Structure 1
Amino acid sequence: MDPLKTVITSFIDMSDEQYAIIHPIMQKMEVKKDTNLLQQGQVCKHVYFVESGFFRMFYVDYKGNEINARFAKPNDFMVDFVSFITKTPSQYHWRAMEDSTIIALDYEEIEKAYELYPKWQKFGRLIAEWSYIQIMQREEMLHFQTPEERYETLLKTQPYLFNLVSQNQLSSYIGIKPESLSRLRKRILGK
């Protein structure tokens, strides 16, 4: 079974015929390492599915620092929902961290599928809910956990990040300075 169908059917039962509806609107793309798929100021017009590779979503703060907001690995969906739904410029960049293969689904085509097929509309709602939960879990981690708890949460929930991102990128994701992350790592490893 193809990876996209496997992920979709993990959210909702869907027949081969229902799944085949999106074949004509799927656009497979190769994205080279260090290429921005979306840049701040552009409108996000696609939902992306990562077949292979790795991406980070970040913004540049008022001091010029890159702050990581999300990461996407194989079998993840990527979208800036605010930009996608409101058709307003994104505040984020999506950058390939390695050579990647993605499937792009266009906004207008997705909307047509939603109108014509209730299963796709339900899937769209479920994936939006899932995405919201992911965003809120990170927000709650930043608001309600100590830096050490955040680090330990990542070790449990996203251990792959420790091999795929730099210390600077990891520290910005958990909301601490790189030197604080270094001290934190030493303290945790010393336990």
Structure 2
Amino acid sequence: MSDRDLKILIVFYSMYGNTARLARAVAEGVGEVEGVKPVLRQVPELIPQHTIDSNPRIKAVKESLRDIPVANVNDLAEADGVIFGTPTRFGNMCSQMKQFIDQTGSLWLEGRLEGKPAGVFTSTSTLHGGQETTIISTMIPLLHHGMIIVGVPYSESRLLDMDFGGGSPYGASAVVGPESEMHPTERDLAIAKTLGRRVAEVAKKLRN
């Protein structure tokens, strides 16, 4: 398989659109690496449709994401690397992402994800709302799969900024407010691009 065949899957869940914004920035970073293609996918929704329809904000976000297909576990097996994006729920990944990962037992039995690079990104409501715990806890099942964890190094100088925002050596992140009324900053999006670019570069090196 040539470098041109490399695919990095960005699989995410987004309720109010902020994790999706990070996902698109991650995809941009992947696309900056020659011969590597980003593939965006959403994990399946668990919220009942009538609940979505009754909330104009959530409904509008879901409609805006209709162009992004829903993921299945075979997408993970077919990718050369995977970057997972989840909003934080009380310091952990959201239930939609957990349910998706819990379906990967057959891939684990066959070792289908072993040796593939992986990264994680998240969004939280508050500054100390569990960004790092969410990213690290999301890494645990990826390590069980034998994936190679890729973070964001301090050569990404924005990590050294003292300004309000997200991002850490563990992965990309954003603080979006108690009602998700804020959006990822330009700094947050730049760090997300760096994460995508790094995973793509590592995938390329592993293939070579």
TM over 0.5: no
- Structure 2 length normalisation: TM-score? 0.25
Q: Which has the higher contact order (CA 8 A, sep 6+)?
A: 2
Point out the structure with max Rg over C-alpha: 1
Which structure shows the bigger proportion of residues in helix conformation?
Answer: 1
